[in-house]
Amino acid sequence: MVCSSLCALLWLAAWPTPSAATVVELTGRGATVHSGQSLEVLLPGSPLTQSVRLAGIDAPDPQQEPWGAQATAALQQRLVGQSIRLELAADSLASATDAYGRLWAYLWVGDDLVNADLLAEGWGLMQEPSQNALMTHIPYANRFSHAQEQARLLGHGIWATASPMRQSPSQFRATLE
């Protein structure tokens, strides 16, 4: 028991975190979930919502059945009535916005990094920095990689042996264009 707790602490300590100098954080409430990786956030002091894209993950498109609807529901369930914290995936608001006007961010509910939790539940694939010009690195890459591997080994979500996802979300979206 002591070893498992100690091992868990050492494992958690090995995860790199971004330096405080490069973290831009916003707080708000989740308003509307569009997919397993995209939502609208109501920021304090503003009547408008801000579109947010979860950084570092590639979740199934809502049209990619049955996984898209399940990934969307998994994100929605985590946000119901919760205060959230957004950690931008860039040094400023301007550089964290994509071509669709969405902020690329790491989403926190309390101490839970939702991006990693979704990967651990099998509702997405880890996105490599080379797949996105906005991301030069993923500060939580080790954490994301471990979460994805855990889901794959346990057969969660898109990794379910009875019905595994055969086409990545990016590949699926390319067929829609």
Q: Domain limits of the chain?
A: 22-176
Whole-number pLDDT of residue 168: 80
Question: Whose CA is closest to 57, among 157, 131, 151, 136?
Answer: 131
CATH class of the domain at 22-176: mainly beta
Which residues share a beta bridge with 32? 40
Structure tokens at 49: 């919502």
102: Cα separation from own chain's centroid: 14
How far apart, in whole angstroms, are the C-alpha atoms of residue 117 and residue 44? Answer: 25
Whole-number pLDDT of residue 73: 95
Whole-number pLDDT of residue 22: 44
How far apart, in whole angstroms, are the C-alpha atoms of residue 153 and residue 161? Answer: 10
Whole-number pLDDT of residue 30: 72
How far apart, in whole angstroms, are the C-alpha atoms of residue 78 and residue 6? Answer: 28
**Which residues of the chain have a pLDDT value below 70?**
1-25, 90-95, 129-137
Q: Alpha-carbon dihedral of residues 50, 133, 137, 119, nearest 10 degrees?
A: 60
Residues 120 and 151 sit within 8 Å (Cβ to Cβ): yes
